[in-house]
Amino acid sequence: MRRRFGVASCLGCLVLLLSANASAQTKPLVAATRDDLAAGQRIFDAQCAWCHGASGTGGAGPGLQRVTLRHAANDASLVDIVRNGIPGTEMPSFTTTLTDRMAWQTAAYVRSFGRVAPRPMPGDPQRGATVYQSNGCAACHVVRGDGGVLGPDLTAVGALRGSAHLRESLIDPAAVHPPGYLVVRVVTSAGAEIRGIRLNEDVFWIHLRDQTGTLHVLQKADLSQMEREPKGTLMPSYATRLSATELDDLVAYLASLRGKP
């Protein structure tokens, strides 16, 4: 009899735990207590701030200090994103590290960012658009369908990256190397040197696009050297090419690009 009572007690505890977990998921995020927000902050600082910045200011991931988040129209979608990530993006899944309650607490903490006014950003986006055009950025980058294809599409870059990350990408582009833009340097058997972005590669061929936008289709058997540069970049640094004001303006312009017409 004692054994049965012990099993029943364990089952009862499990039911209560699952019920509490489910209740946490269904509660609106605004119902989070101070303890919930504190727990969510600890999780965010340990798992999320690497990309989204402390207090959601943004970094390699988007800033979160806004009322409406791009992929989270409601509380349920925000909790789901925290738990399961966003397929096809750099936002990973945390299903193996976060319980449903932990995901809810983290989402509640993220939602609290939208109740605090973000710090105003220095710089003028309209002046920044002029800096962008006058420095030839459109030769390599697309914005709303116009521009070159050597670098990443910037149409929605402000929704994807924080302002600090955007600034660093202008000052030290090699430090914030975008995925999918591996630089490769080759020397052909005839002695010609080509350095460009790898577009495609298999066992026998490699396709590169060089700084001028020229496409090179190369057979590996015809190469005497091939060097991959994981931290290499074709983008120049603007640390000394722009004044402090121009840099502020350009960052403000890039931050304003959110994929909207």
Order of all β-strands in the sheet with 223-229:
215-219, 205-210, 193-201, 183-188, 223-229
Cα 37 to Cα 32, 135, 220, 243, distances in angstroms: 6, 45, 56, 41
What CATH number was assigned to the domain covering residues 125-168+238-256? 1.10.760.10
- Residue 18: what pLDDT? 44
The size of the chain, in residues, is 261
Q: What class has domain 24-113?
A: mainly alpha
- Residue 7: what pLDDT? 47
- Residue 261: what pLDDT? 54
- Both ends of the chain: CA-CA distance in Å? 71
Burial tier of 206 (Cβ tally within 10 Å: 0-12, 13-18, 19+): buried
Q: Give the whole-angstrom CA distance, residue 187 versus residue 236.
A: 22
- In which residue ranges of the chain is CATH 2.30.30.100 found? 183-229
- Residue 205: what pLDDT? 97
For residue 215, give the 3-state DSSP assignment. Answer: strand
- Residue 8: what pLDDT? 46
- Residue 16: what pLDDT? 46
- Per-block mean pLDDT, blocks of 10 residues, the chain (261 long): 47 46 67 90 89 81 80 87 87 90 90 77 95 96 94 92 92 87 96 96 97 95 96 94 97 91 54
- Residue 90: what pLDDT? 82
- In which residue ranges of the chain is CATH 1.10.760.10 found? 24-113, 125-168+238-256
The CATH architecture to which 183-229 belongs is Roll (2.30)
- Residue 54: what pLDDT? 82
